[in-house]
Amino acid sequence: MQEAWSREEFVGRLQEVGTHGYHHLHPFHIRMNAGDLDQSSIRLWVANRFYYQCSIPRKDAAILANCPVRDVRQKWIKRIIDHDGKEGQEGGIEKWIRLAIACGFTREETIDERHVLPGVRFAADAYVNLARTKPWPIAIASSLTELFAPDLMAKRLDAFQKYYTWIVPDGLDYFRGRLMQAREDSEFALCVTLEYCVNRDMQEAAVNALRFKCDVLWSMLDALTLASQVS
C-alpha cells in the first residue's frame, strides 16, 4: 500500500481538482458572468439548475443514512434544512422557485420539471447515486466544490444585478444566502475529509469523488450549451 499523503499534499490535490476542473471555467459560466447570455439562456439555466438544487438534500440524506458518526450527522443535517427549509424557515429550494418566478416562470412549471434537459437530469442523478453507493467520507469529499463556490457566488450575484436587470431583484435572495452558507459548509466538509480519509486509498478516492462532482457540474453546462447553442 502506498504511503498516505501529508495533510498539506492532500489539501493541495483537492485544491488542484477545483482549480482546473470547477465549472467556473466553462464557457457557459464565463459568458453568464460577463453578461453575454440572452434571456432564454438564463431562463434555461434557472429551470435546469432547479433540478440540481432539489437533488442536493437527497444527496445529503444519503450521506446521513450511511454515516455512523453522530457528531458528523448532527452537523450535516443542517444542509438538508438549509435547502428544504422547515416550518417558519424558507429554504434554498423555495428561494430558487422565487428566482424562477422572477425570471418569468410559474411555480407549477418550475416544480414539474418540464424544462429539465435529459443531460442535466442524468448528471444530477449520478451525483445522488454516488452519495448512496460510496463510503460516506468519500461522498462528503465530493461536496468540496463548495471550497470554490463563495467567490463564484459573489461574482454571479454581481453579474445578475448588473447585466440581467429584467430579473425581479428579490429573486436573487438564494445567491445572497449562499455567500456565507457555502463557506461554512465547505470548511466543515474539509475537516471531515481530512479526519476520515487517512490512508492513500481513501485520499485518492476522495480526490476522484471531487473530480466526479466537477464533471457533474460541467456536464450540466454542456447540456445547457447544446440546448441554447452557446459556443
pLDDT tens digits for range 66-120:
999 999 999 999 999 999 999 989 999 999 999 999 999 999 999 999 999 999 9
Q: Has residue 153 been placed in a domain?
A: yes
pTM of the model: 0.94
Q: Has residue 133 been placed in a domain?
A: yes
The number of distinct structural domains making up the chain is 1
Question: What is the distance between the alpha carbons of residues 33 and 10, in angstroms, rounded to a whole number?
Answer: 31
Q: Has residue 2 been placed in a domain?
A: no
Q: What is the pLDDT of residue 150?
A: 58
Is the model's pLDDT at 230 over the cut of 50? Answer: no
Q: How many residues does the chain have?
A: 231
Q: Has residue 1 been placed in a domain?
A: no
Q: Has residue 155 been placed in a domain?
A: yes
Per-residue pLDDT tens digits for 196-206: 999 999 999 99
> What value does the mean pLDDT take over residues 172-189?
87
Give the CATH number for residue 197.
1.20.910.10
* Domain membership of residue 125 as a residue range: 7-228
Q: What is the pLDDT of residue 50?
A: 98
Number of continuous H segments (helices) and E segments (strands) in the chain: 11, 0
